[in-house]
Structure 1
């Protein structure tokens, strides 16, 4: 993990570092987290670490067992789909607002993101590409005029984000993601709310394709409730599958 900036609020930094480590599979389901080790590695007191842990517990990323310790939560399929429902509902609405209120001053930010994504793709840097993917969706919230909405979504998307990151090295479809992002951006730039919403719906629902890939990959064993003998099980849960 990176080091803490002593001039900024420590609890928020510890939270983001731990969350990124869990999503990036530096910590896997069932791993034990030592408060002391985290404090020592980040050079912080126990207070910001405990605050970060409590926040991650509320987001289903960690489990605290009395007299036993702090563990990385299992990835449960039902929690993943719950996060997907939140994401689809909010992002499709948000992208319409982004298209409605888009201003030219955002163009350079989008183009810079696409350039950085392309370079990360060429180097096959999964962690960097995932972070840039997140930045793209956060920028859409900014364009919509609701910057805080990204944090609201993240608080409900912990298990979903873990699966999205888990699927990256399985699918290796970075070029498709870049193209989908650019098409969404062009619709936003053109103030085409209907097209932007349709493209975003298809984009965020690609998680079901990711889950179907993981059914056939050993990494899928990390997801509780993902039936490896039945790739169509997702349809039985009432969600669309592309």
Structure 2
């Protein structure tokens, strides 16, 4: 049942529906292949079908919904091609970000990275998975800031969002956080030492953490992926 969300002058019913469905999809409350009804969502939120249709369109633009005329709308299945494309783009962008960050990092940049790590460790200790996810994004944004390429974070943000659902299906959250923190710490140490090659090596390893997840999901839940051809 959709939550009763108080409307405000700044928010629209489209925003409310979008935010609710987006959260459900990225946290796997709605799984790849699940069908959702425009009429049912409209009824749950007490709105007309137009704002729901607009929210569906926004989610489709994020590659999270598959809208098919005269057929049920469904949560988008994973596409291996899109995953590979996303990782290719991120690897290219983040390699350059890490190279520039290593060249530009000063005492202030090193202090920012250290502060980010302290916050991540606190979130892991508290088992605050949601906060850790936000801090993970903040760490990559900080790297872009140090690299003097804040615009690169827009690309990283878009591509990272495409695989967040896969990450949710990955290793146990309590196990995953320490592994990511270790990666982040190694990246920060390399950046602070102006070791671009070392930072890039760890950064690419960080991106490859998804490989085991993909292999496991294709073996246990092949229906979560689009069929080739």
**Fold-level similarity (TM above 0.5):** yes
Partners of 2:98 and 2:147 within 8 A in 1: yes
Distance 1:170 1:9, change over 3 A: closer
Query: How far apart are residue 74 of structure 1 and its match?
Result: 0.9
Distance 1:24 1:191, change over 3 A: same
Using structure 2 for the length normalisation, give the TM-score.
Answer: 0.75
Partners of 2:38 and 2:53 within 8 A in 1: no
Q: Given the alignment of the two structures, is residue 147 of structure 1 paired with residue 150 of structure 2, yes or no? A: yes
Q: Given the alignment of the two structures, is residue 176 of structure 1 paired with residue 167 of structure 2, yes or no? A: no
- Of 160, 165, 171 in structure 2, the residue corresponding to residue 162 of structure 1 is 165
Distance 1:147 1:3, change over 3 A: farther
* Residue equivalent to 2:119: 116
Q: Given the alignment of the two structures, is residue 94 of structure 1 paired with residue 97 of structure 2, yes or no? A: yes
1-side partners of 2:7 and 2:99: how far apart?
36
> Which shifted more, 98-107 or 14-23?
14-23
* Residue equivalent to 1:224: 225
Larger Rg: 2
- Of 134, 138, 142 in structure 1, the residue corresponding to residue 141 of structure 2 is 138
Aligned length, in residue pairs: 223
Query: How far apart are residue 38 of structure 1 and its match?
Result: 7.3
Question: Match of 2:74, SS?
Answer: strand
Unpaired stretches in structure 2, ≥5 consecutive residues: none
Query: How far apart are residue 183 of structure 1 and its match?
Result: 0.9
* Residue equivalent to 1:66: 69
Unpaired stretches in structure 1, ≥5 consecutive residues: 227-242
Query: How far apart are residue 191 of structure 1 and its match?
Result: 2.1
2-side partners of 1:5 and 1:102: how far apart?
44
* Residue equivalent to 2:81: 78
* Residue equivalent to 2:206: 203
Query: How far apart are residue 169 of structure 1 and its match?
Result: 2.2
Query: How far apart are residue 25 of structure 1 and its match?
Result: 1.2
Partners of 1:79 and 1:160 within 8 A in 2: no
Partners of 2:218 and 2:225 within 8 A in 1: no
1-side partners of 2:153 and 2:144: how far apart?
6
Over aligned residues, Cα RMSD in angstroms?
Answer: 3.7
Q: Given the alignment of the two structures, is residue 214 of structure 1 paired with residue 217 of structure 2, yes or no? A: yes
Query: How far apart are residue 52 of structure 1 and its match?
Result: 5.1
